[in-house]
Amino acid sequence: MQSPSHLIRLVLIVGSLMMATGCEKKPVAPKSQPIVDKPFEPPRPEPTRAEMIPPADKGLPPAAQAPARKIHVATFDGETGFIQTGMKQYFGDKMVSVNANESYTLSVDAVASGPSAEQARHYLGIACFDVDGNGISTYHVAKYPGSTDTTLAANLKTGDTKIVLTDATGWNNLGTMHRCSLAWYGYATAAGVPYPDYSYTRFFVADLWVAGAITNNFITLSKPWSGAELPAGKPVRNAESGGTYNYALLGGRSVPSTLTNYTATVAGEWTNGIYSDIRFRPGTAFIKPLILANWTGTLTNTTLSVSNFTITSAKQP
């Protein structure tokens, strides 16, 4: 049996050998701090516009979230307003490009003064122009109410005394010469793009017949035809004149003696050739602000002051 001193010496030797060979015991992490591998997390994408809108704003219509866009402030002879005594026509200095299928708001301030101010009549609105800069008159786009858009049933040649229609239903047989007019179609832009039939044309002849001239589908002309030669099957319309411009803001009425703001929205095109001040004329690509000041002819002592004519688009850029 070995003595205690021999056992102590043996333990010291064994401990020295373990330290020398690197067999020391690794430390163990405390149970309160376990070592755990985290799973891979991809980076979070940038928030969408919808996520960035505060909850209180979600569900609001677009108009409530973004204001309308002012696209034009009109000038007249370089000024944003004018003072006119007596009768005069004003156009804005610049044409404004529009999309006739969209909505635009017109706004203008006006005030009248003078002894005849209550009797004076004024017109405030826009003039319409096609893509080539041509003014669009009522003859180019309007039709006699209730008339049928139709075609020629026979060729129309120089010297003919009758127009033969496929269907004369509703055509004006009551007189009023400007309503006894013929328009035909196939008009195109300067680039050669044709306009749809029964929309916009610059081909027409006015004042062609008198009351009672239509029998069945035959129109007896007041004088022999001298216009273009047209083939049978050509689309035609009973055209008429009317308001020269679109008086969306004010149509032939007096302006108060206190500063008054006039506002109107113009959107879409005329439907089926029916006149409307608050729709664009078919073929419209540009507009100009328009003022007919003191348009009564005889009242020359009224002064009209106009300012701040603006055009605003509901569509955002």
Query: Tell me, what CATH number does 85's domain have?
Result: 2.60.120.680
> What CA–CA distance (Å, rounded) separates 275 from 240?
10
pLDDT of residue 315: 77
Q: Tell me: pLDDT of 27 over 60.
A: no
- The SS3 assignment for 35 reads coil
Question: Is 6 among the domain residues?
Answer: no
Average pLDDT over residues 187-211: 98
Q: Which domain does 74 fall in, by range? A: 67-137+244-313
Question: Is 154 among the domain residues?
Answer: yes
Average pLDDT over residues 8-29: 43
121/258 same-domain check = yes
Burial of 200 (0-12, 13-18, 19+ CB in 10 A): buried
Cα dist. 212→97, 161, 207, 220, 221 in Å? 44, 15, 14, 9, 11
Q: Tell me: pLDDT of 268 over 80.
A: yes
Tokens of 147: 């008339």
Q: Tell me: pLDDT of 66 over 60.
A: no
Instruction: Check residue 6 and report its DSSP letter.
Output: H
Q: Tell me: pLDDT of 283 over 70.
A: yes
210/144 same-domain check = yes
Question: Is 172 among the domain residues?
Answer: yes
pLDDT of residue 40: 36
148/288 same-domain check = no
Average pLDDT over residues 275-301: 92
The mean pLDDT of the chain is: 84
pLDDT of residue 73: 95
> What CA–CA distance (Å, rounded) separates 65 from 63?
5
The pLDDT confidence band at residue 301, using thresholds 50, 70 and 90, is confident
48 or 114: which leads in pLDDT: 114
Question: Is 146 among the domain residues?
Answer: yes
142/200 same-domain check = yes
Average pLDDT over residues 120-129: 97
Average pLDDT over residues 223-242: 97
55 or 145: which leads in pLDDT: 145
pLDDT of residue 3: 47
Q: Tell me: pLDDT of 54 over 70.
A: no
pLDDT of residue 14: 41
Average pLDDT over residues 92-101: 96
CA angle 26, 30, 31 (to 5 degrees): 125
Question: Is 201 among the domain residues?
Answer: yes
> What CA–CA distance (Å, rounded) separates 102 from 125?
17
305/257 same-domain check = yes
182/172 same-domain check = yes
How many structural domains does the chain have? 2
188/256 same-domain check = no
pLDDT of residue 173: 97
Could you tell me which of 166, 176, 178 has the C-alpha nearest to residue 230?
166
